[in-house]
Amino acid sequence: MLHRSGGAGAVVERDPYFVATTPFPGAPTVVCWRETWERKLGPAGRTGPGTESLVVRTLADPTAVVAGTSNPGYVAFVNSREASPGSGAPFVVFVDPLGVPWPAVASIGYRRDFRDLTRHVLLWPFPTSGPGSPT
């Protein structure tokens, strides 16, 4: 159980549901809070058997990490290897990289708008050559 300060001196208790390590330097460790999993993602119909392991696999071994779309402050971990059988949409985990005290899962799901990654701002993997690439 993690305690953190809330507004007006309140203390909020947060319980991690799981924690994953990622290759993305902007969010090397990502937490999924139990309240997010049970009160947001579950009621939205986004969880089920195998979903937790799919989220962890996507965070640990993404195809790419791109800038978020509807919330540009978020980053999207895209897993093109895990596509929806119906639409071919990749599985995406949206992460708030400024989560306190760690980057945190904000949303998950199959997203058709992430099939073409050239339409997104690539954050990881880094280009292997060219301006701005690590040496």
Domain map (residue ranges) of the chain: 2-124
DSSP 34-87: HHIIIIIITTTT---TTHHHHHHHHHHS-SEEEE-SSSTTSEEEEEEEEE-TTT
pLDDT recorded at residue 135: 43
Q: What is the mean pLDDT of the chain?
A: 88
What mean pLDDT is predicted for residues 57-80?
95
CA distances from 7 to 4, 12, 28, 101, 120 (A): 10, 9, 27, 15, 35
Task: Name residue 99's amino acid.
Answer: G
103-113: per-residue pLDDT in tens?
999 999 999 99
Q: Is beta strand 11-14 parallel, antiparallel or unpaired with respect to 2-5?
A: antiparallel
Predicted confidence at residue 14, as pLDDT, reads 85
For the segment 49-56, the average pLDDT, to the nearest whole number, is 95
Instruction: Assess whether pLDDT exceeds 50 at residue 133.
Output: no
Is the pLDDT score of 16 beyond 80? yes
